[in-house]
Amino acid sequence: MSPSAKRRPFIAGNWKLFKTAAETVQYIRALKKLMKKGPEVDVALAPPFTALESAVKAASGSTIAIAAQNVFWEEEGAFTGEIAPGMLKALSVGLAIVGHSERRQYFGETDQTVNRRIKAALAAGLDAIVCIGETLEEREGKKTKRVLSSQISKGLAGLTREDGLRLTIAYEPVWAIGTGKTATPDMAQDAHQYIRRQLEKIFDKKVANSVRIQYGGSVKPDNAAELMAQPDIDGALVGGASLKPDVFFKIINFKGA
- Residues 88-127 close enough to bind ligand 13P by CB under 6 A: 100
Q: Are strands 235-238 and 64-68 parallel, antiparallel or unpaired?
A: unpaired
Piece of the chain touching ligand 13P by CB under 6 A; list 23-31, 151-159, 172-180, 190-198: 172-180
Considering the rule CB under 6 A, would residue 68 count as an interface residue with ligand 13P? Answer: no
Q: Of residues 221-240, which lie at the interface with ligand 13P (CB under 6 A)?
A: 237-240
Q: Is the dihedral of CA 16, 228, 173, 42 positive or negative?
A: positive
Decide if 105 contacts 80 (C-beta within 8 A). no
Which single residue brings its beta carbon nearest to ligand 13P? 239
- Which of 162, 178, 205, 244 touches ligand 13P by CB under 6 A? 178
100 is catalytic: yes
Please report how close the Cβ of residue 14 comes to ligand 13P at its closest, in angstroms.
4
- For residue 158, the minimal CB distance to ligand 13P (Å) is 25
Q: Name the minimum Å distance from CB 170 to ligand 13P.
A: 7
Is position 47 an interface residue for ligand 13P (rule: CB under 6 A)?
A: no
**CA 235 → CA 15, 20, 62, 188, 202, distances in Å?**
16, 26, 19, 12, 22
Q: What is the C-alpha separation between 15 and 100, in angstroms, rounded?
A: 12
Could you tell me the smallest distance in angstroms from the CB atom of residue 236 to ligand 13P? Answer: 8
Q: 133: Cβ–Cβ under 8 A, 6 or more apart, which residues?
A: 101, 148, 151, 170, 171, 172, 173, 174, 177, 216, 217
Q: β-pairing, 42-46 with 127-132?
A: unpaired
Q: Which of 23, 100, 134, 140 is catalytic?
A: 100
Site for ligand 13P (CB under 6 A): which residue of 42, 109, 163, 172? 172
CA pair distance 113, 121, nearest whole angstrom = 12
How many helices (H) and strands (E) would you count in the chain? 12, 8
* Residue 226 annotated to the active site: no
Which positions are annotated as active-site residues?
A: 100, 172
Binding residues for ligand 13P, rule: CB under 6 A, are 14, 100, 172, 177-178, 216-219, 237-241
